[in-house]
Amino acid sequence: MTSLSRDTVVGVVGAGAMGSGIAQLAATNGHKVLLFDQDASALDRAMAAIEKNLARSVEKNRITGDHGAEIRNRISTAGWETDGADAYADLKNAGLVIEAIIESLEVKRALFASLDKVVAPDAILATNTSSLSITAIARASLRPERVLGIHFFNPPTVLPLVEIVPGLATSQEVTDASRSLMEEWGRKPVVASDTPGFIVNRIARPFYGEALRIYEEGIADMATIDWAMKEIGGFRMGPFELMDFIGNDVNFAATRSVYEATFHDARFRPTLTQQRLFDAGFFGRKTGRGYYDYSPGVTMPEPNQDRELGELIFRRILSMLINQAADALYLRIASAHDIDTAMTLGVNYPKGLLAWADELGIPETVKWLSALQDFYGEERYRPSPLLKTMAADGFTFFST
Other Cβ atoms less than 10 A from the Cβ of 367: the count is: 14
Torsional sign, CA 261, 263, 269, 274: positive
In whole angstroms, what is the distance from residue 28 CA to residue 188 CA? Answer: 16
124: β partners: 96
Is 183 a catalytic site residue? Answer: no
Is 163 a catalytic site residue? Answer: yes
Q: Classify 35 as helix, strand or coil.
A: strand
Is 61 a catalytic site residue? Answer: no
Contacts of 399 (CB under 8 A, 6+ apart): none
The single residue of 201, 251, 319, 384 carrying the catalytic annotation is 201
The single residue of 53, 114, 130, 323 carrying the catalytic annotation is 130
The single residue of 145, 163, 210, 241 carrying the catalytic annotation is 163
Is 130 a catalytic site residue? Answer: yes
In what side-by-side order are the strands of the sheet with 94-99?
75-79, 33-37, 9-13, 94-99, 124-127, 147-152, 161-166, 188-191
End-to-end CA distance of the chain, in Å?
Answer: 41
The angle at the Cα of 289, spanning 284 to 294, to the nearest 5 degrees, equals 100
The single residue of 99, 151, 241, 251 carrying the catalytic annotation is 151
Q: What are phi and psi of 9, to 5 degrees?
A: -80, 130
Pairing label, strands 161-166, 147-152: antiparallel
Show which residues are catalytic: 130, 151, 163, 201
